[in-house]
Structure 1
Amino acid sequence: MTERTTEHTTITIERHFKAPLPRVFGAWAVAENKRQWFACHGDWTPLEFQLDFRPGGSESNRVASTDGVIHAYQGRYIDIVPNERIIYAFDMMLDDKRISVSLATVTFAPEPAGTTMLFTEQVVFLDGYGDNGSRLMGTEIGFDNLRLYVEADERRPN
């Protein structure tokens, strides 16, 4: 019998981008843009990506790791204020096992040199899943990719 457990934690990451606020927000809001940065492992195989960016809309992303494990992300957008905030809920699965459920809030603010983004994720890890900091690490890698995307010379393709 599987032991049922819950372990709660909060992840907060603040980033400053040398890019205008509409470009940073657009990196989240437009499927073609988000697909270019929303990954934490470049050697994994993409299987599915879908983005319906609106309140009530959904997002899904499935990839296969180098050892064949399917990592699946399924989100639902709850609140969107263009160029100000995004609130969404999502779960993560490894193959057919749900490992976590989260509520995430992303806020954006202009600053003289670009944009400040604050990401807060309230996560519950399920049934003994030992994260050992990998969620934080993967999210930070994704935001490093976001920086590369939004700070790229806009005249060149990304």
Structure 2
Amino acid sequence: MKIHISATVNAPKDKVWQAYTTPEDIVQWNAASDDWHTTEASVDLRVGGQFCSRMEAKDGSFGFDFAGTYTNVEVGHLIEYEFGGRTAQVVFADEATGTRIDIKFDPEDENPIDMQIDGWQAILNNFKCHVESQQS
């Protein structure tokens, strides 16, 4: 079973793609709540390339690396990756109101499905706000 989340960002696909794949942008939007942040990110956006986002609680109580390997990259359209024995797919599609992002991923076994959906959706919503705030 895959979990599916999505959002439509009011911005052109090239801007959305850039913000999703650029470490300088990732550290600005990659958090599920205000008490977390991403302190650093790296991206080698090619098949076999690695990515890593260091996610930490702002109070310093906990942190982890969200890391994996890209398994398929179609620039401007599709990213697929493996992380911790699980897989995810991110699709970018033009819509009349901007760019739709659809993310499907394998759930993990430690947390309830609803918590995983809420966390990933919160990060995607932060991404949407970040990109839309950059529009001029």
Name the structure 1 match of 2:127: 146
> Which aligned pairs between 1:83-122 and structure 2 lie closer than 5 A?
83-91=76-84, 101-122=85-106
Aligned length: 135
Aligned counterpart, 1:55: 47
**Aligned counterpart, 1:29:** 21
From the two aligned structures, give the one with the greater helix fraction.
2
CA deviation vs aligned residue, 1:61-102 (integer Å, no higher than 9, x gap)? 2333347233331111111101110001113xxxxxxxxx42
Kept after mapping to 2: 8 A contact 1:30/1:53: no
Q: 1:72 maps to what in 2?
A: 65
* Rg larger in structure: 1
Q: TM-score, normalised by structure 2?
A: 0.85
Identity, % of aligned positions: 25
**Cα deviation per residue 1:10-43 (whole Å; 9 max; x = unaligned)?**
2101211111011111112211122211111332
For the 8 Å contact 2:68–2:83, the answer to whether it is kept is yes
**Could you tell me how far apart the structure 2 residues matched to 1:45 and 1:64 are?**
6
**Stretches of 4+ moved more than 6 A in 1?**
none
> Matched residues in 2 for 1:47 and 1:118: separation?
25
**Larger strand share, 1 or 2:** 1
Contact 2:28 2:38 in 1 (8 A): no
TM-score by length of 1: 0.74
Please, what is the CA RMSD of the aligned residues? 2.0
- Unmatched segments (≥5 aa) in structure 1: 1-8, 92-100
Return the alpha-carbon distance in structure 2 between the equivalents of residues 46 and 30 of structure 1: 13
Q: Which consecutive residues of structure 2, in runs of 5 or more, have no partner in the other structure?
A: none
String of CA shifts for 1:106-138, please: whole Å, max 9, x gaps: 11111122111111112342xxx2435222111
For 1:109 and 1:46, how far apart are their aligned partners in 2? 26
Q: Give the letter for the 2:95 counterpart.
A: E
CA contact (8 A) 2:9 2:132 kept: yes
